[in-house]
Amino acid sequence: MKKYIVFCILAIVISFNVIAQEEGTVDPVSRRKLTKQEKAEIRKAEQDAVAKMVDSLIFKRKFVLEADYLSNQTGNRQIVNSLINFIIVDSSSIVIQIASTTGIGGPNGMGGVTTRGSITGFEVKKTGRDNSVYYIRLLANTSIGPYDIFFNILPSAATDATISGIRSGRLNYHGVIKPLERSRVFKGMAI
């Protein structure tokens, strides 16, 4: 019985080698060029799909900026957890949250602040060489004060947002925007 199993395994291995040699008879240069061209076409189609998604999210005013980094006005960047550091824009309402992975302190119970509010102004412009970059100015009234929020959104969904309030200083979010229904952010207790 063991001899039969070993024989079957050897036959399978040999047949895979024969098939691999037959495929190798095609000119490798033309196969490589075709593969590069196909990869470029696939990459272009994916980029177009993401750009259409970004257009749709901004048109609907329903998106989440999940921040991978936070920075202040001097440019000091900190890596953060994108599931707990975000800005949610949901048509006429907004949620802004910063939190810490330690979860120690802060009024939101996660080492930071969570605030909800309403959007009182929403201005969209397209900038860049080919008018593909969105520039959004958003005015928000929250429970802890009014905020000006400026978004720069690339067609690739990469986004930077700057938040400034009535006090001096700014907070910058750096990440990507996602559809509201696909985001899995965790909201803390709002002030």
Structure tokens of 170?
């700014």
Alpha carbon distance 64, 176 (integer Å)? 8
Structure tokens of 107?
């009024």
The answer to pTM > 0.95 is no
For the chain, list the domains and their CATH numbers. 2-52 (no CATH), 61-182 (2.40.128.410)
CA atoms within 13 A on the CB side of 77: 8
- CA 171-177-181 angle, to 5 degrees, is 125
Q: Is 22 helix (H, G, I), strand (E, B) or coil?
A: helix
User: Does position 91 have pLDDT exceeding 80, yes or no?
Assistant: yes
Q: pLDDT tens for residues 179-190?
A: 999 999 988 888
Q: What mean pLDDT do residues 105-115 have?
A: 88
Alpha carbon distance 145, 168 (integer Å)? 13
**Beta-strand relationship, 77-79 and 93-98:** unpaired
Query: H or E element: which one contains 134?
Result: strand 133-142
